[in-house]
């Protein structure tokens, strides 16, 4: 019975086995690449399909990223206006400001005293003439509070507002964030749409690679039969197919990156023109090097997964007869 | 080396291929397996190489009970069996060298070792120097000998041949059989399935004759075999 357990052992010494394990992996990886090179047209067709499929989720990622940089600047526009109780002295207002400044949630404070408020109102409202008939200034002093980045989200800003209203000198506060909440809801919806489309396209990539590998397995049916007859393990037989899948993924990923860059380059001039009309200097950003790495890593994983699923299903079905 | 005890095989379609087969091929022995087509020769070889498994009875190869063999262990058993086929199962788009080297690549030998052993195996079958040829360029007899070189290149203890002389003329057939004899002389157990009765008659080796799934005139399992292990 001892012999039974010996059956899985190779005849080589253990150090040789380890070295050969790596050498064989490298050989298989290179051989798979060579195999792709030998059928350039069909290989390229598959890679092009993968590149296009991957470029769509990646393009959406670029879109979301650029949208975020734009909305980021809008988010910080969320300001809280605190109206000070009438009849508070200038001194007590200054002490309020001093206290507000030490709040960790507060990034910036801008004080508008009553006279300034009146001046601004006269200038912007168009009721300037009417106001001059009033004996007293009806406007309260206002402290404009800009929340720190962490508290600039609608919920965070609202939280801060509640806290600030507890201050004795503050009559009430206002936060104009409804539009911000709507914007964020729209952005969330967009993000979710992007995720759903990305998931579908990722599935398409796995299926395309799985199908390509299936055809490759069918083409090499006799070879696989012979290999099984002379004692090849399934791991050995499936390895070149798995590497083929990984190569498809890597090259497809790089292709997607190229497509994205072309797309950004094409759109950027048009966008710059549009933003220029609004006096903005924003430029579209493409994928960073780290994101390229992630894209290629994800693509190679998808390639591996697609070929693994295919190999699992089809390699077992081939048995010598 | 090969031991069958009350082995029966019925295919899933209900076709009865082997019934109650008993025989024992000792280590270092050389024997012929013969019978009409459809008598069960191929099935018997498939049971030895674990392409099929027996429904009833016990098959032991090289001391391993096939019934207890897990699927993942089958490749390692096959590495101990050199197989030669009538249609030689060569990979036509690969060179002679790649074909013969396949079992060694699978076992993970180093490149230098592979080259040495392939050259040795090709020398033994008389095809030294034809490494770079494509099998398509070779004659039928030469192709068969490439198949034999592949079967012996990793020096397996057991050699199985299924109609190895099927497509060859008598002179070439005899050459191939002489080749098997030399392997047998160096200790390899050899089992050759053939329907070429003329060929068998000229050589004095044990013959197992199959008829309708049964072994005719084979010695029953004797007690000394059982005690010696295999």
What residue of B is the nearest CA neighbor of A235? B72
Q: Which helix (H) or strand (E) holds A206?
A: helix A178-219
Say if A2 falls within a structural domain.
no
Cβ separation of A230 and B109 shorter than 8 Å?
A: no
Inter-chain residue contact B73 with A7, CB threshold 8 Å: yes
Cβ neighbour number for residue A124 with a 10 Å cutoff: 9
* Predicted local confidence at residue A97, as pLDDT: 85
Q: Judge whether B77 and B160 are in contact, CB under 8 Å.
A: no
- Kindly state the helix (H) or strand (E) to which residue B78 belongs, with its residue range: helix B74-78
Q: Judge if A98 and A233 occupy the same domain.
A: no
Of the candidates B208, B165, B222, the residue with the CA atom closest to the CA atom of residue B45: B208
Q: Are A191 and A111 in a shared domain?
A: no
**Residue A104 and residue A134: Cα distance in Å, rounded?**
40
Q: Are residues A151 and A220 in the same domain?
A: no
Percent of chain B with pLDDT over 90: 36
Closest Cα in chain B to A27: B105
Question: Which of A124, A158, A176 represents a domain boundary (last residue)?
Answer: A176
Distances (CA, A) of B3 to A37, A93, B28, B217, B223: 49, 104, 14, 16, 13
Specify whether A135 is located in the same domain as A223.
no
Q: Are residues A55 and A86 in the same domain?
A: no
* Band of residue A3 on the pLDDT scale cut at 50, 70, 90: very low
- CB contacts, 8 Å: A227 with chain B: 102, 106
Cα–Cα distance, B183 to A101 (Å, whole number): 96
Question: Is A157 within 8 Å of A80 (Cβ atoms)?
Answer: yes
Tokens standing for residue B172 = 């070439």
Domain boundary among A115, A150, A176: A176
3-state helix, strand, coil in chain B (%, to 5): 40, 25, 40
A96 — pLDDT class (breaks 50, 70, 90): confident
A134 belongs to a structural domain: yes
Is residue B138 less than 8 Å (CB to CB) from chain A? no
- Cβ of A225 within 8 Å of Cβ of B106? The answer is no
Mean pLDDT for chain A overall: 82
| Chain mean pLDDT for chain B | 86
Instruction: Give the per-residue pLDDT at B190.
Output: 94
State the pairing for strand pair B56-61/B30-34.
unpaired
Which residues in chain A belong to E strands, given as ranges?
Answer: 80-84, 106-112, 142-147, 170-175
- Bigger pLDDT: A126 or A231? A231
Task: Decide if pLDDT at B228 tops 80.
Answer: no
pLDDT at B168: 78
What is the rounded end-to-end Cα distance, in angstroms, of chain B?
6
Query: Is the per-residue pLDDT at A8 higher than 80?
Result: no
Q: What is the pLDDT of residues B131-188, one digit of tens each?
A: 899 999 998 889 989 999 999 999 999 999 998 887 778 888 888 888 899 999 999 9
Same domain assignment for residues A205 and A263: yes
User: CB count, 10 Å around CB of A100?
Assistant: 19
* Confidence band for A5, pLDDT divided at 50, 70 and 90: very low
Q: What is the pLDDT of residue A269?
A: 80
Q: Report yes or no: B155 at the A interface, CB cutoff 8 Å.
A: no
In a domain, A12, yes or no: no
Q: What is the pLDDT of residue A128?
A: 67
Residues A110 and A159 placed together within one structural domain of the fold: yes
Distance CA A254, CA A54 (A): 10
Q: What is the CATH number of the domain that holds A130?
A: 3.30.70.3040
- A14 in any annotated domain: no
Number of folded domains in chain A?
2
Cβ within 8 Å of residue A181, ≥6 positions away:
A154
User: A160 and A298 share a domain?
Assistant: no
pLDDT recorded at residue B191 = 93
Give the distance from residue A4's alpha carbon to the nearest chain B alpha carbon, in angstroms: 6
Q: Pick the closest to residue A151 from A216, A117, A105 (CA basis).
A: A105
**Chain A residues lying within 8 Å of B11, measured CB to CB:** none
B67 and A CB contact within 8 Å: no
What pLDDT is attached to residue B221? 40
- Does one domain contain both A67 and A187? yes
B206-211 vs B189-193, strand pairing mode: unpaired
Q: What's the rounded mean pLDDT across residues A72-83?
A: 68
User: What pLDDT was estimated at residue A80?
Assistant: 82
Give me the residue from A4, A10, A229 closest to B78, CB to CB: A229
Specify the pLDDT at position A277.
72
pLDDT tens digits along A199-247? 898 899 999 999 999 999 998 898 999 999 999 988 889 999 999 999 9
**pLDDT average, residue stretch B75-83:** 92
User: Same structural domain for residues A121 and A241?
Assistant: no
Q: Does B113 touch chain A (CB under 8 A)?
A: no
Domain-located, residue A83: yes
- Beta-carbon separation of B68 and A4 below 8 A: yes
Which of A132, A148, A176 finishes a domain?
Answer: A176
For the ranges A80-84, B116-120, B159-163, the lowest mean pLDDT is seen at A80-84
- Decide if A237 is inside a domain: yes
Asked if residue A22 has pLDDT above 90, the reply is no
Q: What is the pLDDT of residue A298?
A: 92
| Cβ density class A54-69: b for 16+ within 10 Å, e for less | bbbbbbbbbeeebeee
Torsional class of A318: left (φ above 0), alpha (ψ -120 to 50), beta (otherwise): beta
A25 part of a folded domain:
yes
Task: Name the pLDDT band for B229 (thresholds 50, 70, 90).
Answer: very low
Query: Could you tell me if A69 and A83 lie in one domain?
Result: no
With 0-12 / 13-18 / 19 or more C-beta atoms within 10 angstroms meaning exposed / middle / buried, residue A20 is middle
Examine residue A189 and state whether it is found in any structural domain, yes or no: yes
The answer on A192 and A117 residing in a single domain is no
Q: Give the structural domain span for A100.
A: 79-176
């Amino acid at each position: 019975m001892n012999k039974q357990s010996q059956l899985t052992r190779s005849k080589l010494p253990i150090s040789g086995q380890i070295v050969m394990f790596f050498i064989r992996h490298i050989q298989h990886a290179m051989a798979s690449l060579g195999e792709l090179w030998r059928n350039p047209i069909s290989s390229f067709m598959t890679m092009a399909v993968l590149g296009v499929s991957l470029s769509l989720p990646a393009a959406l990622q670029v879109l979301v990223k650029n949208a975020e940089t734009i909305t980021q600047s809008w988010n910080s526009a969320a300001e809280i206006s605190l109206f000070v109780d009438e009849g508070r002295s200038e001194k007590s207002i200054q002490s309020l400001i001093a206290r507000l400044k030490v709040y960790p949630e507060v990034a910036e404070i801008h004080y508008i005293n009553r006279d300034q408020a009146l001046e601004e109102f006269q200038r912007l409202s168009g009721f300037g003439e009417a106001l001059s008939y009033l004996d007293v200034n009806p406007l309260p002093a206002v402290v404009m509070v800009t929340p720190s980045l962490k508290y600039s989200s609608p919920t965070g800003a609202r939280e801060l507002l509640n806290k600030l209203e507890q201050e004795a000198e503050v009559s009430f506060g206002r936060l104009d964030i409804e539009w911000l909440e709507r914007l964020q809801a729209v952005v969330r919806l967009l993000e979710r749409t992007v995720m759903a489309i990305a998931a579908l396209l990722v599935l398409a990539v796995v299926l395309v690679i799985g199908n390509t590998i299936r055809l490759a397995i069918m083409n090499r049916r006799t070879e696989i039969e012979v290999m099984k007859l002379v004692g090849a393990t399934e791991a050995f037989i499936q390895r070149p197919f798995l590497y083929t899948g990984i190569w498809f993924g890597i090259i497809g990923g790089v292709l997607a990156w190229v497509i994205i860059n072309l797309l950004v380059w094409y759109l950027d001039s048009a966008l710059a023109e549009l933003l220029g009309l609004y006096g903005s200097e924003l430029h579209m950003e493409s994928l960073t090097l780290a994101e390229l790495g992630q894209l290629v890593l994800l693509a190679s994983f998808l390639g591996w997964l697609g070929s693994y699923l295919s190999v699992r299903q089809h390699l077992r079905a081939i048995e010598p007869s | 080396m090969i031991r069958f005890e009350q082995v029966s095989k019925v295919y899933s379609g209900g076709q009865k291929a082997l019934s109650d087969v008993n025989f024992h091929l000792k280590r270092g022995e050389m024997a012929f397996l013969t019978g009409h087509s459809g008598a069960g020769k191929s099935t018997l070889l498939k049971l030895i190489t674990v392409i099929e498994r027996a429904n009833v009875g016990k098959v032991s190869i090289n001391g391993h009970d096939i019934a207890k063999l897990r699927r993942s262990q089958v490749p390692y058993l096959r590495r101990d069996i050199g197989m030669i086929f009538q249609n030689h199962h060569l990979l036509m788009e690969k060179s002679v060298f790649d074909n013969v080297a396949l079992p060694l690549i699978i076992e993970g030998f180093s490149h230098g070792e592979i080259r040495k052993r392939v050259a040795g195996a090709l020398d033994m079958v008389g095809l030294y120097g034809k490494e770079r040829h494509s099998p398509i360029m070779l004659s039928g007899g030469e192709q068969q000998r490439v198949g034999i070189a592949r079967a012996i290149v990793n020096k397996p203890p057991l050699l199985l041949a299924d109609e190895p002389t099927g497509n060859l003329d008598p002179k070439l057939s005899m050459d191939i059989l002489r080749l098997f004899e030399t392997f047998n002389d160096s200790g390899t157990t050899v089992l050759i399935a053939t329907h070429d009765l003329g060929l068998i008659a000229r050589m004095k080796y044990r013959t197992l004759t199959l008829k309708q799934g049964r072994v005719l005139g084979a010695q029953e399992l004797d007690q000394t075999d059982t005690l010696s292990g295999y």
